Structure 1
Amino acid sequence: MWNGDVFLEKLYDEAISRHRNQSRVGLPNERRSKLKEALRDAIGSFEPNAGHAPKLLERVECNGYIRERVELSATPGLTYGAYVLLPTNVEGPVPGVLALHGHGYGSREIVGLLKDGSPDEGTPGIHQHFAVQLVKRGMAVIAPDVIGFGERRLLADLAENPDAPSSCYRLSTQLMMLGKTLTGLRVTEALKAFNYLASRPEVDADRIGLMGFSGGALIGYVAAVMEARINATVLTGFTNTIKDSIFAVHHCIDNYTPGLLVHAELPELIGLIAPRPLFLESGDKDPIFPVDGFRKAAADIQAVYEAEGAGAKLQTDLFPGVHEISGRFAYDWLKESLSS
């Protein structure tokens, strides 16, 4: 056979068979520990920047909350902005949330701003201004700019096309050639934002959660696996199997981590968050994270949670919609999970 369809299917089936065989060898906790280490190795590491002092760039009074803009740095030679939303109608310290946007024009898209930084008074897009939804429920929110989007697109890409939607391709390919990954860099910066939020006096460092959408949920699940202090996690517009989504649909290159499928399918990796509370949300007509794949993944993750004695800590919502945030249950679930 000249084409490689059957060959690729065979390689996938062999990988899944190895996962099953490996899960039968040794204790479950041993496999979980090995998978965490394998995930850490697969995404790569970056030198930490312990000497950079966060810088306040702006502070704006909004309706029911304060919006700050701060500059952070997670690795030497690279800084980034993050919005911090602080509720004004509750007494602190309050629960906190690390909010991670997906493809689009950056953190402004989730804090109620347009591309130019002016207020977005229109109907929210697929991100639904979700950071604002969270702060209005009494939680402090940090929304870092994910590298490759909005103000963090590469100058090389903007020189070719001022309207370039992202710099994911150039970042991913060059980092891979250097033995690193874009996911690794994004997770490193997300966890720096988490640590900064935890250091704020307005925030209860023992009650911090995470909410990520689409590519932000990819960053989010890895961050939650790596950081045990993330108490509750919402993943929306992402949970699926690699076979039903990443392999079946044309995705941005930032979804691909070299060698990851050697170790586990995506549901087992997301299941490493157990036994901490986890909420999975997806639209029933999402074209890039299909509904059948979501159902399979959710069932597999439920089995992981049941095995960990934490079945009740996993919640799902398959809502009527496409590739977008709903939040119809997730926002309040996150608040409740961080209030106990």
Structure 2
Amino acid sequence: MWNPDAFLEKLYNAADTQRLSFQAGSRDEWLDWRAELRSKFIETLGGLEETTADLAPRLLERVECDGYVRERIELTTADSLTMPVYVLLPKSAKGKLPAVVACHGHGYGSKSVVGLLPDGSEAADDPNVHRKFGVALVKRGFAVIVPELLGFGERKLENETIVNRDTNSCFPIGVFLMMLGKTIAGIRIQETMAAVSYAASREEIDASRIGIFGLSGGGLVAAFTAALDERIRAAVVSCYTNTFYDSILHRRHCIDNYIPGILRHAEMPDLIGLTAPRALFIEAGQKDELFPLCGTEKALATLKRIYAAAGVPEQLDSHLFPGGHEVCGEQSYAWLERQLGLHD
């Protein structure tokens, strides 16, 4: 009888929360809403600083694979902060390529997206929820940029690479940043923007045809980077789109999902809707227990209203596939081909 459930529910439903939840009925109202929410979102993330003008790319390795080349590049994304990225390039490509920035979710980092095991050896089969989606995309003809997100793989805190080998450093990095008024989501978004800048600088890549694809926690990064970086032409968000209420607030999640104070302004689909009028594809498993279908359907309803108000309902598409928390690609890969003009 002393449980705080009703208290929390009342706080969520209070009149002064979600003040910028989408209610626009016209294009002009949509534009005003978008500008105000974008500003509040950046502020709540802890601000987005300009990434270093010189990313100082450094080639670490180049490996010939079946039908494509895999490079690993080190980028300088901020003072005292470097990030490795994999770059996958199809061997048979002609002319400038469309590119996809591929954001991994929880697990052992970027290697899971490019078909490698944690030790760097080739994965013979693919039981991983990422389904080697970076390899799938490069074999379709895309250039693929795969950043190692902060806190995963080889970007864990130094002491945790020894004592905490099988997990990530999201919690200690996240709370450190929160105490400084920043968020791990904000830093990851900022670094992913740096990966977009690097993609645009490659001579093989057409800077006007850059997309993004992310799974789960990488879906958060993909969705919110697309919302805030207009260089991204098309975004696929896999197994993340939901409401905070139905997903993040209703079970234990990694701290990287929490943005302090965000519900004073808006819910998750409002934030993802900042991507409009650019193209957005929502992929979700009907049996996903982390981001349940009921919340995804609520989010899609909001997104449809946003895209309608923006005058581009055709720029939003979705696939609720009969699976769980995993990359599907059955419709999203072909959608990216169309949006980024792969065969033009």
Same fold (TM over 0.5): yes
1:69 is aligned, of 55, 68, 72, to: 72
- Is 2:139 the partner of 1:136? yes
- Is 2:268 the partner of 1:284? no
TM-score between both structures, scaled by the size of structure 2: 0.94
Superposition CA RMSD, Å:
1.8
**Aligned partners of 1:73 and 1:189 also within 8 Å:** no
Distance 1:21 1:267, change over 3 A: closer
Q: Equivalent residue of 1:264, what SS?
A: coil
Name 1:107's counterpart in structure 2. 110
Tell me the distance in 2 between the aligned counterparts of 1:167 and 1:20: 32
Between Structure 1 and Structure 2, which shows a larger proportion of helix residues? 1
1:90 deviates by: 2.1
**Aligned partners of 1:16 and 1:265 also within 8 Å:** no
**Aligned partners of 1:198 and 1:205 also within 8 Å:** yes
1:19 deviates by: 3.9
Q: Equivalent residue of 1:126, what SS?
A: coil
Tell me the distance in 1 between the aligned counterparts of 2:297 and 2:98: 31
2:243 is aligned, of 227, 237, 241, to: 241
Q: Equivalent residue of 1:334, what SS?
A: helix
Name 1:10's counterpart in structure 2. 10
Q: Equivalent residue of 1:235, what SS?
A: strand
Name 1:38's counterpart in structure 2. 40
Name 1:126's counterpart in structure 2. 129
- Is 2:44 the partner of 1:59? no
Tell me the distance in 1 between the aligned counterparts of 2:165 and 2:128: 22
1:42 deviates by: 1.0
Q: Residue 36 of structure 2 aligns to which amino acid in structure 1?
A: K
1:97 is aligned, of 83, 94, 100, to: 100
1:61 deviates by: 1.1
For residues 216-267 of structure 1, what are the alpha-carbon distances to aligned partners after superposition, in whole Å with 9 as ceiling and x for unaligned? 1111111111111100000001000111101112111110001111111111
For residues 30-50 of structure 1, what are the alpha-carbon distances to aligned partners after superposition, in whole Å with 9 as ceiling and x for unaligned? 111010011111112346322
Tell me the distance in 2 between the aligned counterparts of 1:333 and 1:18: 34
Tell me the distance in 2 between the aligned counterparts of 1:98 and 1:246: 25
1:124 deviates by: 4.0
Greater mean alpha carbon deviation, residues 111-120 or residues 1-10: 1-10
Tell me the distance in 1 between the aligned counterparts of 2:329 and 2:22: 38
Tell me the distance in 1 between the aligned counterparts of 2:84 and 2:314: 37
Name 1:330's counterpart in structure 2. 332
Q: Equivalent residue of 2:159, what SS?
A: helix
Long gaps (5+) in structure 1? none
Distance 1:278 1:22, change over 3 A: closer
Q: Residue 260 of structure 1 aligns to which amino acid in structure 2?
A: I
Tell me the distance in 2 between the aligned counterparts of 1:323 and 1:32: 30
1:85 is aligned, of 88, 105, 110, to: 88
1:300 deviates by: 1.0
For residues 4-46 of structure 1, what are the alpha-carbon distances to aligned partners after superposition, in whole Å with 9 as ceiling and x for unaligned? 2111111111255744598589933111101001111111234
For residues 159-203 of structure 1, what are the alpha-carbon distances to aligned partners after superposition, in whole Å with 9 as ceiling and x for unaligned? 43333x110000100000011110111111111111101110110
Which of 1 and 2 has higher RCO (CA within 8 Å, sep 6+)? 2
Q: Residue 91 of structure 1 aligns to which amino acid in structure 2?
A: K
TM-score between both structures, scaled by the size of structure 1: 0.95
**Aligned partners of 2:90 and 2:138 also within 8 Å:** yes
1:136 deviates by: 0.7
1:92 deviates by: 2.0
Q: Equivalent residue of 1:216, what SS?
A: helix
